[in-house]
């Protein structure tokens, strides 16, 4: 079956297709077949196989490495290496008498083995915390490590984390991304360890070969600790091969030819080209993502809020949606409407070129002979970075360039591939940058726009906002969190470190014979639970 990708079918697909698959998943495993290889196209370069070091999504890594808990298809956390998700109700979370700190206890699965046959124990959990927080380790994010003062290990299968604060979004950090083996990594340099290319995990697949810039081959873990409801050994698939295909045209060609079986990031504007391809079907799933345009505050012209507001008024979201095949949805806040913390009263900047021009006129930016504005001899001319080869982002970039030109701002494409893009994003190697964040089920927003945020490469700092982040991210009180989230959204909308433009969806091409696949909307990716996937026939 191939889906006609109209806007109406898109909305139906998000609801109906995902529901149908979830219903199928609920049946006992009776007709599943073992064997087969699935070739998957990755649209970004694999910089490392270490989940804590990668600057990209960890699709391949999550088939190898498991965490204590993980988000499911509904973005709800479920147990993995832990027996249950800690909560106040089940006693897994205990608040201090004054409510300022908390203790979280994990009870671990027993009889779990690492890929080398060694037993998984609580010592591995504590080691992971110690390794990631180590200042010498270069991690993409150390979020969550600083919130824990100490970890107690009453026995091999109990972990007691003593927090120095209350962390409502503890589940979206640290132990969810994966546990590392103490017996292999203790005393080694994690920055140079072979673990970064061939990690040993507890997951359903093991790394057989990793060739940078080309592919990673993952073979079935024949001693995997989990089984299907009917007692079948898991996983069903023999092999997963992730092939790095960063160019959208090449991705489409290889899907059409059968060289690739699957891609979970089909370019919106190219999805219709896969209609009618034999053996291939399109699934549209929800995704906790938003497209955003960020400003580098190290550029004194962009540090002027009038320039940023003018840019916001110059962008027509409907045009951006149209060039992306009608898939995204216009938004005005970094908090997506699906979340309880979303505030519909958040200020917004309507498409209004006249207002944009007035802002720049009043701020003293006059048009030069070429139509580009300048002030005190400094032109409103900016380097605009996106990740090379991503067709949707390239289309968005060209639209924004044209719309900014209409108000006298010059934006020049300065696109970068792979690691170069990652370095630019984290280190501020841009004036303007467009990208899409995919978040956890309970996002930590300070990581993006906090003064010390791991993903804040903009040089942006707002002490007032930092105080609000602290309120939001250090209480379990729902009303207090809601109030802080509203204040956060207001400040970000008024200060404009970035412009939230559109909410994305996941357009997935998969073989018809691949069964038990269910889209996952979070940053843990669609590959966080591959153990029961199988190829029919």
**Residue recorded with tokens 């499911």:** 72
Residues 215, 244 contacting (CB under 8 angstroms): yes
Tokens of 150: 């100490």
The pLDDT of residue 109 is: 98
- What's the pLDDT at 31? 63
Q: Which residues pair with 435 in a beta bridge?
A: 292
Report helix angle 478-495 to 463-472, nearest 10. 160
Q: What is the pLDDT of residue 28?
A: 42
Residue 97: count of CB within 10 angstroms of its CB = 6
Give residues with Cβ within 8 angstroms of 173, minimum separation 6: 141, 143, 144, 167, 444
Whole-structure pTM value:
0.83
Residue 369 has which token pair? 């002979």
pLDDT, residue 11, reads 30
pLDDT digits (tens, 9 = 90+) for 404-449: 999 999 999 999 998 899 899 999 999 999 999 999 989 999 999 9
Q: Are 443 and 469 in contact (CB under 8 A)?
A: no
Q: Strand, coil or helix: what is 49?
A: coil
For residue 109, what are its two tokens?
Answer: 């699965």
- Which residues of the chain carry a pLDDT beneath 70? 1-31
Nearest to 481 by CA among 340, 346, 288: 340
Structure tokens at 103: 């203790």
DSSP state of 216: E
pLDDT of residue 13: 34
pLDDT score of 185: 98
Rounded to an integer, what distance in angstroms lies between the CA atom of residue 422 and that of residue 246?
14
Helix locations, 315-370, DSSP H = 317-323, 353-362
């Amino acid at each position: 079956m191939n889906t006609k990708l109209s806007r109406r079918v898109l909305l139906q697909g998000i609801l109906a297709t995902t529901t149908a698959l979830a219903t199928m998943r609920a049946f006992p495993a009776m007709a599943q077949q073992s064997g087969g290889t699935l070739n998957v196209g990755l649209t970004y370069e694999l910089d490392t196989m270490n989940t804590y070091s990668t600057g990209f999504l960890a699709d391949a890594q999550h088939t190898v490495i498991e965490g204590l808990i993980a988000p499911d298809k509904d973005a709800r956390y479920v147990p993995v290496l832990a027996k249950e998700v800690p909560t106040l109700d089940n006693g897994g979370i205990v608040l201090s008498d004054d409510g300022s700190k908390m203790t979280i206890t994990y009870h671990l699965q027993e009889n779990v083995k690492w890929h080398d046959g060694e037993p998984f124990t609580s010592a591995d959990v504590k080691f992971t915390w110690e390794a990631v927080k180590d200042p010498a380790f270069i991690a993409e994010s150390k979020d969550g490590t600083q919130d824990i003062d100490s970890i107690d290990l009453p026995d091999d299968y109990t972990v007691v984390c003593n927090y120095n604060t209350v962390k409502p979004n503890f589940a979206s950090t640290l132990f969810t991304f994966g546990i590392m083996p103490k017996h292999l990594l203790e005393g080694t340099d994690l920055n140079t360890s072979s673990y970064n290319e061939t990690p040993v995990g507890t997951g359903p697949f093991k790394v057989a070969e990793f060739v940078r810039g080309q592919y990673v081959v993952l073979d079935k873990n024949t001693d995997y600790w989990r089984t299907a409801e009917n007692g079948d050994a898991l996983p069903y698939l023999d092999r997963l091969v992730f092939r790095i295909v960063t160019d959208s045209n090449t991705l489409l060609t290889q899907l059409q030819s059968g060289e690739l079986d699957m891609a979970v990031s089909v370019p919106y504007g190219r999805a219709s080209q896969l209609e009618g391809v034999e053996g291939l079907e399109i699934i549209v799933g929800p995704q906790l993502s938003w497209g955003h345009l960020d400003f580098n505050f190290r550029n004194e012209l962009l540090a002027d809020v009038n320039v940023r507001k003018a840019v916001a008024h110059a962008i027509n979201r409907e045009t951006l949606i149209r060039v992306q095949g009608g898939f995204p949805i216009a938004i005005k806040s970094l908090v997506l409407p699906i979340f309880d913390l979303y505030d519909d009263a958040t200020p917004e900047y309507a498409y209004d070129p006249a207002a944009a021009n007035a802002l720049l006129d009043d701020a003293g930016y006059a048009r030069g002979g070429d139509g580009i504005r300048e002030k005190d001899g400094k032109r409103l001319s900016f380097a605009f970075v996106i990740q090379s080869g991503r067709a949707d982002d390239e289309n968005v970039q060209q639209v924004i360039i044209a719309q900014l030109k209409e108000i006298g701002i010059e934006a020049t494409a300065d696109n970068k591939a792979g690691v170069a893009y990652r370095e630019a994003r984290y280190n501020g190697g841009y004036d303007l940058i467009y990208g899409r964040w995919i978040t956890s089920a309970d996002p930590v927003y300070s990581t993006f726009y906090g003064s010390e945020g791991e993903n804040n490469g903009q040089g942006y700092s707002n002490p007032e906002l930092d105080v609000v982040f602290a309120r939001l991210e250090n209480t379990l009180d729902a009303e207090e969190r809601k109030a802080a989230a509203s204040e956060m959204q207001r400040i970000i909308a008024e200060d404009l470190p970035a412009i939230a433009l559109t909410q994305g969806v996941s357009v997935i091409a998969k073989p018809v014979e691949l069964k038990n696949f269910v889209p996952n909307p979070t940053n843990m990716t669609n590959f966080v639970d591959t153990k029961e996937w199988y190829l029919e026939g």
